[in-house]
Amino acid sequence: MKSHKKEEYVAFQRKIMRRFCLAVFGSVCVVVVLYLVLWRRRFGDWTVRLLEYGLKIGHEEAFYLYHNYFREYKEVFFGVMILAVFVFLLGYLFRWMTRYFQEIDRGIDALLSEDTEQICLSAEMLPFERKLNAVKQELEKEKAETVNEKRRKDELVMYLAHDIRTPLTSVIGYLHLLEEDQDMSAAQRAKYVHITLEKANRLEEMVNEFFEITRMDSGQMQLSKERIDLYYMLVQLCDEVSPVLELRGNHVVLDLQEDFSICVDADKMARVFGNILKNAAAYSYPETEITIRAWEETGDVVVSFQNKGRTIPAEKLPLLFDKFYRLDSSRVSDTGGTGLGLAIAQEIILLHGGTIRAVSERETVTFLLRLPLLKNS
């Protein structure tokens, strides 16, 4: 890698070296020429003639001036000329080198501009051009991520306000009824209190889901893995979800060994299985079974949740795991979903190094979870 980077600068280094060598060679040639000219009489003759024609004086007067002023200080004139030559050549080299700094300066300006075109420098500046373009691409990527992050936060706030409004309005409405109707029967009052409590609990659940997805997006979620009994976890989960299942006459069938164990974060994996099971219960046909299977496959653990329900179009299957996506918005009031359950499940599965996908065909929907078969870590 280091040798490759070194080779990238060879053309630039060679051009600088060639230009420097030419400047040194030119300086030496000029100095030699000046020396030969100054130390030969032809220079004296030329100087005398120049004084004659320039000052309009005679030959003797011109020779006198040359002999007393020019010839006596010939070494001084020679030194001044050599110095002038070197100053000129150094100035030339400086201007030539400045051109590259100007190119880099223009490249930096292009880097900071809104222009999406590639930065182009001269051929020998190719290594700098590549680096500037790489930085430009990285900056554009970070800018796009910042814009997307802001958009996601704006969407989060928008959906939060929209989804909380409905249960909150219901809670307020029922509380107003309880406050205003003092003659309400005890049975009716108990019914309204029960409904209000359900709405308030649902409101708390929604807020918790929003906080959880926000924590995931910010990378604050950490795993605490341990070996758990998968069969026992699913039995407990089915008991917890049984009230939801009974509403539509659904039931769960577990198809896995009783001693099946996996190494995961127990609380977070329970959240994954719970979200998928609730989703299956919400979109299953009434009076149908939901089958949960688990098996080992090529060093992984595969867990599947299968239910009978309307076939989901293939193009919509990947969207199921997008935040706030609902397959059927008209059923929001029935399912009570925020559209975050499967998104949260996917984030937790990915955090475990696994994958999750959905398959739907012939009125059967299957969620397949694949997790690494790891030991305690």
CATH number at residue 297: 3.30.565.10
Measured over the CA atoms of residue 371, residue 372, residue 376 and residue 377, the dihedral's sign is negative
Closest CA to 240 of 200, 192, 275: 275
- Paired sense of beta strands 289-297 and 226-229, if any: unpaired
Closest CA to 348 of 217, 154, 160: 217
Give me the pLDDT at residue 305, please: 93
Of 113, 136, 154, which residue constitutes the final position of a domain? Answer: 113
Q: How many folded domains does the chain comprise?
A: 3
Cα gap 164→202, rounded to integer Å: 9
Highest mean pLDDT among 93-107, 223-237, 322-336 belongs to 223-237
Which tokens go with 78? Answer: 């020679």
**Is 361 strand, coil or helix?**
strand
pLDDT tens for 276-297 read 888 888 888 988 999 999 998 8
Are both 232 and 330 inside the same structural domain? yes
Question: Global pTM?
Answer: 0.52
Beta strand segments in 114-208, E: none
Q: What is the CATH number of the domain that holds 160?
A: 1.10.287.130
Mean pLDDT of all residues in the chain?
77
Of 184, 217, 250, which residue constitutes the final position of a domain? Answer: 217
Q: What percent of the chain has pLDDT over 90?
A: 6
Are both 213 and 233 inside the same structural domain? no
Give me the pLDDT at residue 330, please: 44
Band of residue 90 on the pLDDT scale cut at 50, 70, 90: confident
Give me the pLDDT at residue 376, please: 46
Are both 240 and 361 inside the same structural domain? yes
DSSP string, 79-127: HHHHHHHHHHHHHHHHHHHHHHHHHHHHHHHHHHSS--SPP---GGGHH
Are both 289 and 268 inside the same structural domain? yes
Are both 12 and 101 inside the same structural domain? yes
Q: 111 burial class (0-12, 13-18, 19+ CB within 10 angstroms)?
A: middle
Band of residue 181 on the pLDDT scale cut at 50, 70, 90: confident
Looking at the domain assignment, is residue 128 inside a domain? no
Looking at the domain assignment, is residue 284 inside a domain? yes
In Å, how far from its chain's centre is CA 222? 21
Enclosing domain of residue 65: 2-113
Give me the pLDDT at residue 320, please: 83
* Helix locations, 218-340, DSSP H: 230-247, 266-283, 332-335
Which residue matches tokens 């029967």?
Answer: 185
CB-based contacts of 33, cutoff 8 Å, min separation 6? none
Are both 165 and 230 inside the same structural domain? no
Are both 235 and 360 inside the same structural domain? yes
pLDDT, average across residues 231-259: 85
| Count of CA atoms in the C-beta half-sphere (13 A) of 289 | 7
Closest CA to 267 of 232, 297, 231, 225: 225
Question: With contact defined as beta carbons under 8 Å apart, do 313 and 334 qualify?
Answer: no
pLDDT, average across residues 311-331: 74
Give me the pLDDT at residue 40, please: 56
pLDDT tens for 32-50 read 776 666 655 566 676 777 7
Are both 45 and 178 inside the same structural domain? no
Nearest 5°: the CA angle 67, 69, 72 is 70
Cα gap 238→234, rounded to integer Å: 6
Band of residue 331 on the pLDDT scale cut at 50, 70, 90: very low
Task: Go through 56-71 and write b for each residue having 16 or more CB atoms within 10 A of its CB, e for each that does not.
Answer: eeeeeebbebbeeebe
pLDDT tens for 126-148 read 777 777 788 888 888 888 878 87
Cα gap 141→149, rounded to integer Å: 12
Give me the pLDDT at residue 187, please: 85
Choose between 48 and 368: higher pLDDT.
368
CB-based contacts of 9, cutoff 8 Å, min separation 6? 127
Question: With contact defined as beta carbons under 8 Å apart, do 120 and 129 qualify?
Answer: yes
Are both 87 and 6 inside the same structural domain? yes
Helix, strand, coil share (%) of the chain residues, nearest 5? 65, 10, 20
Choose between 277 and 63: higher pLDDT.
277
Beta strand segments in the chain, E: 226-229, 251-255, 261-264, 289-297, 300-308, 355-361, 364-372
Closest CA to 365 of 316, 325, 297, 332: 316
Tell me the backbone φ, ψ of residue 259, rounded to 5 degrees: -100, 25
Looking at the domain assignment, is residue 309 inside a domain? yes
Are both 200 and 232 inside the same structural domain? no
- Paired sense of beta strands 226-229 and 364-372, if any: unpaired
Are both 251 and 357 inside the same structural domain? yes
pLDDT, average across residues 320-345: 64
CB-based contacts of 218, cutoff 8 Å, min separation 6? none
Give me the pLDDT at residue 208, please: 74
Residue 110 pLDDT > 80, yes or no?
no
